[in-house]
């Protein structure tokens, strides 16, 4: 468990140090504790696997708990780090718009020249002239088809680039039916678009690419693939046409390709940039395409140097990168593409619900800033109701620092006064030191958007504190144009400075580092393979299932584990402290109050099953109420249900119980000559103990099932059955040296005074607990208490309405290139190793005072942290 090992958040691990405070057989207690914890965790993991409401029928994917050690941490999440493409969106790419030679295509206009919205009734472009078209492809702007059919050179070159510059593998399952196998959905969408507009990618070998251009088959010689990686953020191919022309085709992120353009592309670059901003504002994913005609003599020299660099044993990657930069210089701009990636179902509602649970969401994406912001609004992460949204776009360390400080000053003006008094800036910059920052409350609701180049500066040592303090004041943080490494660095940064459980969720290989860096990693099985799932702790098919995983399964697991631990320490202190009081009367001779068999069976048989049933089945409110009132999740974030305070309360209750458990029977037996023997006293104390702890777990159980009843009453029945058996004549005859007190239990429990003593002990031990809980429920109810009460009232009202109804019826009736592409596929294609034959909702009671205790605690913690 990363959450357990790295920050000590695992409840069982955190309390394991306290197990040895339990007097008596601490080894047996520790063994029972950890074995029971694993059983409870396993049961809660099965609930996740069996949850049909987290099953996605379209691809037959159930939810999967890939570990059993993190269930309770799911109920304590404070920060969620999410990818965008394939996680928030469907990762099903659709070629939507493009810009070619300064002209934008994809919009539909009416007769008066006004742009109209595309709907299902909008007529589609007719591609029937193309026998190799993809029938599923849809496009609505006939101007682009007309441009292709009139042999416009830039348009032909644009689609020729899309048909050649990729790593897609074609498969012809039957005559005329082409299927593309693309390792990136972006590439599949672009190659499919080129196919429908008359440039059909038909086949490839390690040396050639076959394209059907407007009905004519053309075979290009594939000379080199300059592969994609997360630093280059582009890919290029070098091909030779049948006429002998050498051409380099390149596609990639606009911020990268623009720096490689020839100076003569200035006017076209400005026009294309306008179109890119328009596309990004609509939430589309964009990339820029360009080309370069190569001289044959120059290319031959470059090719020799490329071969030498690719076979070098030292600095191979650096030498190849230099050669790539050299040949990709002075590109000629062709245009840009815009791909639509729709949101998954339920994403806005899920993010809104998680926000109401005080979970902060950070989106780490490789898209352009405009796209990320557009998706942020679509997902309900960003809204016009926010007090402000800060954009960090500095191009130097000083600019980034100033922008972060300006944002923090607006969110929390007094923070700089505190900094001057504490000198925190100088303290945090000491290398090798980790400082946990206290929670700070902003004066409103804010969002933060930071670009990739600004994030690179902010992740440097002297700006890390500024970034964390500013970003953690915001409800939503969006990081744009980030690399996989930066995703992991952002997660590590929050883990370093915040005492909070983090969760990362993604669907692709570029999310693996982020998933592994967080305390809990979740993989979505989508369009980009299984790398994220295989690196995750939990997996499912849709982002919307995250709210159920956290607010239902995570919250219940946390509550169950807390109740289990509290009861474990209570019953063991009540059991063992009796020996301490007995020591004053036996001269501390190590003589035990109970017989040896009771000591052995107490944790294993008499009290094991009821607490396991509670740990597996208990719930405070039904699942739909957990989703309806997200603020129920907050106690887990604040660690309210089991902490040092709760631990010592359990100890105090156990000691209180042990005092009366011993001294009430001792007082009765001291004044009764018929009950003066040691064995009768032991039977009375043991019986009182079993009954008291059974009643206590009955009070602790919030959700009764038949199994709970069976285990509690069954454990009591087993206790009496074993008690009478050990004092029976049959066992005495078999083992006379072990079971000498024949008939003692029967004689002791036949005395009315014994049962009165047991009843008095039970009442005195339980009444304070009942009284305290009653007063707490009446004077300071928790939100869960209020929800249960509201549910009870609703049930009564429904019953009354039904009764009244029966009586009444008697009389009357935006968008960037997300880097899902992976490096290495170019080399694989050129090697030919992969070639195969083609023939094979209400968030909370905002107006009710019952939630104020959480807010008060937040303020106290914040104030306490600031003062410290």
Catalytic residues, by residue number, are 83
Rg of the chain taking only CA atoms, in angstroms: 35
C-alpha–C-alpha distance, residues 66 and 525, integer Å = 13
Three-state secondary structure string covering 61-128: ECCEECCCCCCHHHHCEEEEEECCCCCCEEEEEEEEEEEECCEEECCEECCCCCEECCCCCCCCCCCC
If residue 659 lies in a helix (H) or strand (E), which one and from where to where?
helix 644-670
C-alpha–C-alpha distance, residues 106 and 108, integer Å = 7
Is residue 455 within 8 A of residue 479, CB to CB? The reply is yes
List, in sequence order, every beta strand (DSSP E) within 525-616: 538-540
C-alpha–C-alpha distance, residues 198 and 385, integer Å = 47
C-alpha–C-alpha distance, residues 461 and 449, integer Å = 20
- C-alpha angle with apex 87: 184 to 538, nearest 5 degrees? 110
Is residue 661 within 8 A of residue 689, CB to CB? The reply is yes
- C-alpha angle with apex 73: 67 to 74, nearest 5 degrees? 80
The two three-digit tokens of residue 506, written as one number: 């993604």
Cα-based torsion angle of the residue sequence 316, 317, 320, 326 in order, rounded to the nearest 10 degrees: -130
Give buried/exposed letters for 765-787 (b at 16+ CB in 10 A, else e). bbeebeeeeeeeeeeebbbbbbb
Return all residues near 439 (Cβ < 8 A) that are at least 6 apart.
472, 858, 861, 862, 865
- Report the length, in residues, of the chain: 868
C-alpha–C-alpha distance, residues 229 and 223, integer Å = 19
Return all residues near 677 (Cβ < 8 A) that are at least 6 apart.
744
DSSP string, 227-288: ---TTT-EEEEEEE-TT--EEEEEEE-HHHHGGGB-GGGHHHHHHHHHHHHHHHHTT-EEEE
The two three-digit tokens of residue 134, written as one number: 């993809």
The two three-digit tokens of residue 10, written as one number: 């695992």
Is residue 158 within 8 A of residue 100, CB to CB? The reply is yes
Tell which residue, 333, 363, 367, 324, has the closest CA to residue 347: 363
Is residue 559 within 8 A of residue 71, CB to CB? The reply is no
Tell which residue, 710, 707, 696, 712, has the closest CA to residue 616: 707
Three-state SS for 166?
coil
The two three-digit tokens of residue 641, written as one number: 């249900």
Is residue 371 within 8 A of residue 96, CB to CB? The reply is no
Give buried/exposed letters for 619-640 (b at 16+ CB in 10 A, else e). ebbebebbbbbbbbbbbbbbbb
């Amino acid at each position: 468990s990363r959450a357990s090992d790295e920050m000590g958040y695992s409840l069982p691990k955190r309390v394991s140090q306290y197990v040895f405070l339990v007097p008596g057989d601490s080894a047996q207690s520790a063994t029972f504790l950890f074995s029971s914890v694993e059983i409870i965790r396993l049961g809660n993991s099965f609930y996740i696997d069996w949850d049909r409401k987290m099953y996605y029928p379209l691809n037959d994917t159930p939810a999967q708990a890939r570990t059993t050690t993190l269930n309770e941490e799911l109920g304590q999440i404070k920060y969620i780090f999410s990818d965008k493409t394939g996680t928030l969106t469907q990762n099903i790419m659709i070629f939507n718009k493009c810009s070619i030679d300064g002209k934008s295509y994809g919009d539909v206009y009416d007769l008066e020249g006004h742009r109209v919205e595309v709907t299902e009734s909008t007529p589609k472009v007719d591609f029937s002239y193309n026998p190799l078209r993809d029938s599923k492809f849809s496009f609505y702007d006939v101007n682009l088809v007309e441009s292709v059919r009139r042999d416009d050179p830039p348009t032909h070159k644009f689609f020729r680039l899309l048909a050649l510059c990729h790593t897609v593998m074609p498969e012809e399952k039957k005559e005329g039916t082409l299927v593309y196998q693309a390792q990136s959905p972006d590439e599949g969408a672009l190659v499919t678009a080129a196919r429908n507009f008359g440039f059909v990618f038909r086949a490839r070998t390690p040396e050639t690419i076959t394209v059907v251009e407007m009905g004519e088959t053309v075979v290009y010689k594939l000379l080199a693939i300059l592969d994609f990686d997360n630093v280059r953020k582009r890919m290029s191919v070098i091909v030779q046409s049948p006429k002998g022309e050498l051409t380099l085709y390149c596609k990639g992120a606009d911020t990268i390709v623009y720096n490689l353009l020839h100076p003569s592309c200035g006017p076209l670059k400005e026009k294309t940039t306008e179109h890119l901003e328009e596309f990004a504002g609509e939430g589309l994913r964009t990339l820029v395409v360009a080309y370069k005609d190569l001289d044959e003599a120059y290319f031959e020299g470059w090719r020799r140097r490329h071969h030498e660099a690719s076979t070098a044993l030292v600095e191979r990657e650096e030498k190849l990168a230099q050669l790539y930069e050299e040949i990709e210089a002075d590109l000629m701009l062709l245009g840009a593409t815009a791909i639509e990636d729709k949101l998954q179902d339920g994403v806005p509602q899920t993010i809104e619900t998680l926000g109401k649970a005080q979970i902060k969401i950070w989106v780490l994406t490789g898209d352009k800033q405009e796209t990320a912001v557009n998706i942020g609004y679509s997902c309900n992460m960003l809204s016009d109701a926010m007090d402000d949204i800060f954009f960090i776009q500095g191009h130097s360390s000083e600019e980034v620092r100033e922008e972060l400080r300006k944002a923090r000053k607006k969110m929390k003006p007094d923070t700089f006064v505190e900094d001057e008094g504490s000198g925190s800036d100088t303290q945090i910059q000491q290398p090798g030191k980790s400082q946990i920052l206290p929670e700070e409350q902003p004066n409103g609701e804010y969002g933060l958007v930071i670009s990739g180049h600004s994030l690179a500066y902010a992740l440097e040592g002297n700006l890390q504190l500024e970034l964390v303090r500013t970003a953690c004041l915001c409800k939503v943080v969006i990081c744009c144009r980030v690399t996989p490494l930066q995703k992991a660095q952002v997660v590590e940064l929050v883990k370093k400075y915040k005492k909070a459980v983090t969760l990362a969720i993604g669907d692709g290989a570029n999310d693996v580092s982020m998933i592994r860096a967080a305390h809990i990693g979740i993989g979505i099985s989508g369009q980009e393979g299984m790398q994220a799932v295989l690196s995750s702790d939990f997996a499912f098919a849709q982002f919307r299932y995250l709210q159920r995983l956290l607010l239902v399964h995570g919250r219940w697991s946390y509550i169950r584990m807390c109740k289990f631990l509290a009861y474990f320490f209570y019953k063991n202190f009540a059991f063992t402290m009796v020996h301490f009081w007995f020591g004053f009367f036996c001269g501390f001779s190590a003589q035990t109050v109970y017989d040896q068999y009771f000591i052995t069976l107490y944790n294993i048989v008499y009290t094991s099953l009821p607490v396991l049933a509670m740990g597996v089945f208990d719930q405070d409110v039904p699942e739909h109420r957990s989703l309806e009132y997200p603020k129920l999740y907050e106690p887990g974030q604040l660690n309210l249900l089991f902490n040092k305070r709760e631990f010592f309360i359990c100890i105090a209750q156990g000691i209180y119980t042990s005092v009366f458990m011993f001294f009430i029977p001792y007082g009765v037996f001291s004044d009764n000559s018929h009950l003066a023997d040691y064995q009768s006293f032991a039977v009375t104390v043991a019986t009182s103990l079993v009954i008291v702890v059974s009643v206590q777990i009955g009070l602790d159980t919030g959700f009764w099932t038949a199994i709970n009843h069976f285990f509690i009453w069954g454990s009591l029945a087993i206790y009496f059955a074993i008690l009478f058996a050990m004092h029976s004549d049959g066992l005495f005859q078999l083992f006379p040296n072990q079971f000498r007190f024949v008939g003692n239990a029967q004689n002791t429990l036949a005395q009315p005074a014994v049962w009165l003593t047991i009843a008095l002990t039970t009442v005195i031990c339980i009444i304070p607990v009942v009284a305290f809980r009653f007063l707490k429920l009446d004077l300071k109810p928790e939100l869960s208490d209020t929800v249960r009460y509201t549910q009870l009232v609703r049930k009564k009202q429904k019953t009354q309405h039904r009764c009244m109804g029966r009586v009444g019826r008697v009389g009357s009736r935006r968008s960037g290139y997300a880097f899902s592409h992976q490096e290495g596929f170019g080399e694989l294609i050129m090697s030919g190793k992969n070639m195969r034959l083609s023939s094979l909702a209400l968030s909370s009671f905002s107006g009710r005072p019952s939630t104020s205790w959480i807010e008060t605690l937040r303020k106290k913690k914040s104030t306490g942290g600031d003062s410290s």
